[in-house]
Structure formats: structure tokens, C-alpha cells
Structure 1
Amino acid sequence: MDKKRANLEQALNACKKETTGLLKVFLGYAPGVGKTYTMLNEANRRFKRGEDIVIGYFESHGRQDTIDQLKDLPQIPLKDILYNNITLTEMNLEEILKRKPKLVIIDELAHTNAPGSKNRKRYEDVLEILNCGINVYTTVNLQHLESLNDVIRQITGVNVNETVPDIILEDSEVVVIDITPDSLRNRLQRGDIYKEPLIERSLSNFFRKGNLTALRELTLRQTADEVDEDLEEYKINHDIHENWSTVERVMVSISSSHQSQRLIRMGSVLSKKYKCAFYVVYVDCTHRFSPADTPNKLDTLNKNILLAESLNATVKKLKGRSVSKELVKFAHDTHITKLIIGHSKRTTIQKFFRGSTINKLLNHSKNIQIIVVPYE
């Protein structure tokens, strides 16, 4: 991978320039709701009006109705990449940039590119295309949003490895493609989504009605959040200063444990729900009984910080002899209303000499809701 390639933050900042292309995301709560079909349908209407549109990447999953929507849309030939003596096909980023259409259709935003590609993730390709002034239509399912990773796993039992930073959707136009869970299950039973023998297995697993209902509700809430952002922008543009919503501030206390990632995602979901400030805080404890840092611990802590930054958290490093004292002071100074912390992992001896961080937080914090999350 090219080391000079801009990181995500630099790419997103570049996308805010006036010369940047516009991103439109067709969002669904599950496979088969009609994201690609709707995206191609709209692209065809614009193509008939004479707009310069090409397909950069298209995935039909064998669905004939979707394939029929290709019609006369021109396609950029895919690129062959040889990996371990196997030829893989990927979107041809270089050819798209060379062709420079007004609009390019790129399916499956959360896709991971084959080794040897310029960028590791397809959303990074999309950012590069947008930065060149090309508009993009793309598709993604709700379960691929980074902040909802733990929630999706809890609902469906499926661990989604391919994720997209939420900030990409926040800076785009989002179109929710919605049908009822019963209608989606009917599509599946007719063979319109998957072919046998996947149908029965899917109906009893990911496509259970309870799963689909919960995922649909999450998607509609996501849409409501986008509408709330539009309302806030309207208030600013029209100089409206009345407080139309409750002001919350969410804070997450993390450590060098990989379990902190669960807390960070939970905090991100809460901050998005309340449209509020989101802080991720860690304390460099100088107490003599505090466990010493190791290279592995520092590496895990750095990964936790990177995740927090990718979810738009304000990361703060504190230092002091007492973890609870530093957390309480920061929480009060910043007017935190909700504090998320993991269950204490101190040994009996550590608790004897240093006490319980959770108990100290409960005793000394005022008007702060303490959310204690048990570690898995």
C-alpha cells in the first residue's frame, strides 16, 4: 500500500472542499431490501436525461431483477489482481479517475479490497474518487456501521468484520430503502435474494423476523438522527437559539484492555442518540500499586484510542494517583451527564489497598448517570 496515501481524516477534510464530489448512500437494514435495484433505477433516469454516468462496480448476487436494471449504463471494466496464484477482480480505481465521469455507481461500500490494491477498503477508494470531483452513488447495510458493531452482534449473533466509519454517512446524502420484515422474508422464500440451499438456513438465522424488526428499527432511528442534524442546521441558518432538545454529554473511561472497544462503541451510540458531545478518557495512573505498562498494553491502548477517534470522540489523557478522582474532576468540569465504565478487574489485594474505582465514582459524582458494563 502506498505510504503517501492520505489517511481517513485527511481524505475526509479534503472531501469538504468545494471541488469535491457528492456522495449519496442507499442504506438498508438487511440484504435484499432493494438498495442496488433502487440505486441503478435512479442512475438510469439520470442517464436518460443525458448525464455522464458509469458503473464502477456492480454486484448482482444473481438477482435477475437487479441485473435487468443495468440497461444501457456503461461499465468500467474490472481490474484483475493476482494473489496466491488466484485471479481476483476488483473495481478499477485508476480507470475511473482517468475517465472522470460526472457520476460513478459503486456497489457495496464496506467491501475489503484484494491484497495488492491501492487502498485496503472500498470506502477509501470512494473518498479518493470524491476528492477528484466525481459524484458517487453507493450502497451499504446498517450492520456495517462501525458504531453499531456490538449492537448488531447482540441482535443477530453475527460478528460483522467489514465496517465503515460513521462519519462517512454523516457527510453524505442518505436514502433509506425500507420494506417490512414480512415482505423481505417473502422475497427470500421466493428465491429473489438467495438460492437454495441458503433460503431455509437464512430464514432461521439472520432473517428471523425478530432480527429484521430490530435492524429495521435501528435503521429508522439512524434516519431520524439525520433529520435531527438537518433541523439543527436549519436553526443555525435561521438564528434560532431556543433549546429544542435535552443537552447530554457522554464520557467513556477506557484502559489498555481490548474490552474497552465495547465501551467506546456503546458511548458512540449514546452520543448519536442524544446528538451530544462524546468524550473518551484514559488515566495514566501514577499510584505505586498501579500495574506497570507493557508493550502489549500500550499497543492495545493505542488501538482503543484510534477506534475512539474514528467514531468522532474527543480523546483526553489524564494523569494522577487516583483514577476515580481524575475521572470525577474531568466529568464535573466538562458537565458530563452519562459516564460509561467497565466493571472493575482489580484483585482483592488491590481493592484492599486502593478501594473500588466504581464505588468511589458513585460516592463522589453528582448528577451523573454511571453506566457499569460487565466485561465479556
Structure 2
Amino acid sequence: MEHTHPYFRRRTPEEILNEITESTRGKLKLYVGAAPGVGKTYKMLQDAIDLKKEGKDVAIGLIETHGRIETEAQIRDLEQIPLLPISYKGKTFYELNVEGIIERNPDVVIIDELAHTNIPGSNNTKRYLDVSLILEAGIDVLSAVNIQHLESVNDIVQQITGVKVRERIPDTFVQKAHEVQLIDVPPETLRKRLSEGKIYSAEKIEQSLSHFFTINNLSALRELALREVANDVDERIEQISGSLQNGPIGVNEKILVCVHYGPTAEKLIRRGWRMANRMKAELYILNVTSEKLSDAGQLKEKKVNDWRLLAEQFNAKLIFEERGKRKPAAVIIEAAKKCGVTQILLGQSARTRWEEIRKGSIVNMIMRETSNIDIHIVADGR
């Protein structure tokens, strides 16, 4: 009997192959916290010991105890796979031994500090890429990360704390986790742990209490972590319940982010992705340039490479359009119509750079020449 539901369709061979691949892939459980010291590693080790008691073959791939006595006490009963020594600038560093883990082939492996950048000479630049290989080998992974290391919240975290986080992981990687668990501790408790020397060594305590570990910072980061995990839960419920009973969600939404070579372009892209992710929308990134891409200088070339990396992380399509004799607004309108865009994001700083926009004409022209497109002006935050 044929299905008559309007949203029913047969799965493509690619989708069936993806399902088979996913069924053999290891599962990732991620422990997320608002800041160092909330107890991510401790809880991860607790769960690992419980799994071992249940008969699972559990091993430690890499653990960072930071000298915390309670954490160190938990690793005694767990096998540790030797780390991989790597020589760099006359010194020996130790990184995750991916091949050793795959060869040992435990049921579950613990890999701490997911956002870590590997030492030059490693096979992968980032630890999350190492974890991907281990998951592909069919091994389950327990790992931990703080909320500030998520790519899309980078600008928000910098605004909250004044710190630009350099070690970041793609949101799309986190979304592949089988389970995300929030390790939540009130800011007052975390500051007490810090002052008692349970997080950092004595010389770092006073500076940390007055800088990163302020009540305001910790409260804002905690709220951010709670919000992100809540959104993750909502998405999983949608996937399980199959929210197609009222039609596909956001299936027609397409977001276009317009970027220039200014300092806020990456912030705008991250904001666009957060919108697109919430709305289940496609994301496009447009750069309107007055010169050929091949003629761009070294600084602009670096910018373009940064955009390419973000576009790859966020599954976005990056579009470059030469302005020629056209007005920038005309180029944006043409690209929006060609892509079927429903939302356009413009940066406030970009508006001031295009002389045409001095009287708000770029917004007016887009509104005049299009229909059913919402325009968002994002403040540059400076």
C-alpha cells in the first residue's frame, strides 16, 4: 500500500548508506560546562567507572587532572593507553595516540579537553579531528569541553569576558554527539572551589577571581551553557518525534549574510549561522567586492580564508560577486533572488563603509526591489 502522507518520500541510496555508516560509528558523549573546574572530568570518570562495572571495556586515551586530587583518585582503576610522543623545537610533547587507541579497540575511550590544538607535526591539527577518526573506527568516546570553545558563541564570550578564545570547535561536530550532558555549578560554588585551590595553583587564584571567574562572567557563561544545551535537547526531541506532522520546519528559509573586509565579518557569519541553525535554514555568505578576488592583498586573502573555514564548518555556501559598475544593493538583491533568500543580515560597520548607505539607501533599495525578505542590521558591538 502506497503512503499518501504529503511529506513521505523514499530514502535515497545516499541516505541509506549514511544510515548504515552511522550504525557502525562510535557514539560520542559530551560533557559541557560553563567554565573550568565545574567537574566535567570528574563526572566523566565516574561514568567511565560505572561502565566498567557493567562489563564494558573502558580505557583512558587522554585525561587532564590539573593536579586535582579527587580527579586523580578516580583514574587508578582504569587502563591508560600510552600517549604519542612528538618532538617539536627540541622538546618532547605528548598527544593523543589515535593509532594506539584504534589498535587497542576498547568499547569506550575517555578523551579530555576536546578543543585542544595539537602540537605541529601531529597528523591532525585539532583533537576533535582525532576523535572523529576514533568514532569512525566504531569506538565510543567520552569527552569534555567548556561552552566558550564553541565556534558560534565566540563573539558572545568575548563580549562577556573580554577574552578572545582561540581554541574552538565547530558547532556541527557537537551536534553529532549522541548525548550532551551539562555539568552545572552555581558561580558562588565555583569561586569557592577556586579560592580553596581546587582548580588552579596558588599563584593563579587571585588573578582568576578578579578576572575570568567574576560572578558576572560565570553567571553569563552559565546562562549561555544552559541555553545551548536546552536548544540541543529541543532539536533531539524534534528528531525523535519527527516534527513533520505539521509540515517541514523552516524548509523554505534561506539566510544571506553580507560581509565586507572589516573586523566584524566573522561575528556576522556566526550570528547568521546561529539564526540558520535555530530556523533549520540554509546559509549563504556574500561578499561584494570592487576588485577581482585574485587581485586582493595579503590581508584580504587571510580574511577570505577565514570565511572559507567558517563556511565549511557551518555548511554554508560562500559567494563572491564583483561589483563592477553596479550598486552594492543591486548585487545583494540579485544574489538574494537567485538563491531564494528570505532573510538578509547586514553589519552596521559595513553600512558605514559603502557611501551609498549614508542615508540608509541600501536597506530601502532592498526593501523596494524585493518582497518577503526580512532585513536584519547587526550592531558591530564596538
Instruction: Tell me how far apart the structure 2 counterparts of residues 208 and 246 of structure 1 sit (CA, whole Å).
Output: 42
- Map Cα deviations across residues 343-374 of structure 1 (whole Å, 9 max, x no partner): 237779x5499995355346555562331433
* DSSP 3-state at the match of 1:51: coil
Instruction: Tell me how far apart the structure 2 counterparts of residues 192 and 136 of structure 1 sit (CA, whole Å).
Output: 26
- Counterpart residue number, 1:282: 286
| 1:303 pairs with 2:306 | yes
User: Contact between 1:258 and 1:300, CA under 8 Å: does it hold in 2?
Assistant: no
| 1:336 pairs with 2:342 | yes
Instruction: Tell me how far apart the structure 2 counterparts of residues 277 and 147 of structure 1 sit (CA, whole Å).
Output: 16
- Counterpart residue number, 2:23: 18
- Counterpart residue number, 2:318: 315
Offset at residue 375 of structure 1 (A): 7.8
Instruction: Tell me how far apart the structure 1 counterparts of residues 153 and 84 of structure 2 sit (CA, whole Å).
Output: 32
Show the 5 A alignment for 1:129-278: 129-172=134-177, 173-236=179-242, 239-241=244-246, 249-257=254-262, 259-272=264-277, 274-278=278-282
User: Contact between 2:61 and 2:97, CA under 8 Å: does it hold in 1?
Assistant: yes
- Counterpart residue number, 2:73: 68
Gaps of at least 5 residues in structure 1 are 1-12
User: Which amino acid letter does the alignment assign opposite residue 136 of structure 1?
Assistant: V
User: Contact between 1:247 and 1:276, CA under 8 Å: does it hold in 2?
Assistant: no
Query: In 2 relative to 1, CA 298–14 (structure 1 residues): closer, same or farther, beyond 3 Å?
Result: farther
Query: In 2 relative to 1, CA 338–228 (structure 1 residues): closer, same or farther, beyond 3 Å?
Result: farther
- Map Cα deviations across residues 111-163 of structure 1 (whole Å, 9 max, x no partner): 11112111111111101111111111101000101111111111001111100
Instruction: Tell me how far apart the structure 1 counterparts of residues 380 and 226 of structure 2 sit (CA, whole Å).
Output: 29
- Counterpart residue number, 2:115: 110
Instruction: Tell me how far apart the structure 2 counterparts of residues 119 and 302 of structure 1 sit (CA, whole Å).
Output: 19
- Map Cα deviations across residues 264-304 of structure 1 (whole Å, 9 max, x no partner): 112223333x333142332555xxxx345423334522431
Instruction: Tell me how far apart the structure 1 counterparts of residues 159 and 353 of structure 2 sit (CA, whole Å).
Output: 29
Offset at residue 340 of structure 1 (A): 3.1
User: Contact between 2:251 and 2:280, CA under 8 Å: does it hold in 1?
Assistant: no
TM-score by length of 2: 0.83
| 1:89 pairs with 2:94 | yes
User: Contact between 1:342 and 1:375, CA under 8 Å: does it hold in 2?
Assistant: no
Instruction: Tell me how far apart the structure 2 counterparts of residues 55 and 257 of structure 1 sit (CA, whole Å).
Output: 44
TM-score by length of 1: 0.85
* DSSP 3-state at the match of 1:263: helix
Greater shift in the superposed pair: 363-372 or 84-93 = 363-372
Query: In 2 relative to 1, CA 186–177 (structure 1 residues): closer, same or farther, beyond 3 Å?
Result: same
Instruction: Tell me how far apart the structure 1 counterparts of residues 221 and 357 of structure 2 sit (CA, whole Å).
Output: 45
* DSSP 3-state at the match of 1:94: helix
- Counterpart residue number, 1:3: none
* DSSP 3-state at the match of 2:113: coil
Instruction: Tell me how far apart the structure 2 counterparts of residues 61 and 52 of structure 1 sit (CA, whole Å).
Output: 25
- Counterpart residue number, 1:373: 379
- Counterpart residue number, 2:6: none
Query: In 2 relative to 1, CA 117–67 (structure 1 residues): closer, same or farther, beyond 3 Å?
Result: same
Instruction: Tell me how far apart the structure 1 counterparts of residues 379 and 359 of structure 2 sit (CA, whole Å).
Output: 21
Instruction: Tell me how far apart the structure 2 counterparts of residues 352 and 254 of structure 1 sit (CA, whole Å).
Output: 15
User: Contact between 1:105 and 1:136, CA under 8 Å: does it hold in 2?
Assistant: yes
* DSSP 3-state at the match of 2:24: coil
Instruction: Tell me how far apart the structure 1 counterparts of residues 65 and 381 of structure 2 sit (CA, whole Å).
Output: 40
* DSSP 3-state at the match of 1:343: helix
Query: In 2 relative to 1, CA 268–15 (structure 1 residues): closer, same or farther, beyond 3 Å?
Result: farther
Q: How many residues align?
A: 357
- Counterpart residue number, 1:10: none
Query: In 2 relative to 1, CA 331–52 (structure 1 residues): closer, same or farther, beyond 3 Å?
Result: same
Show the 5 A alignment for 1:28-107: 28-107=33-112
* DSSP 3-state at the match of 2:55: coil
Offset at residue 311 of structure 1 (A): 2.0
Greater shift in the superposed pair: 311-320 or 243-252 = 243-252
Greater shift in the superposed pair: 210-219 or 299-308 = 299-308
- Map Cα deviations across residues 47-104 of structure 1 (whole Å, 9 max, x no partner): 1222111000010001101111113100011222121111111122221111111111
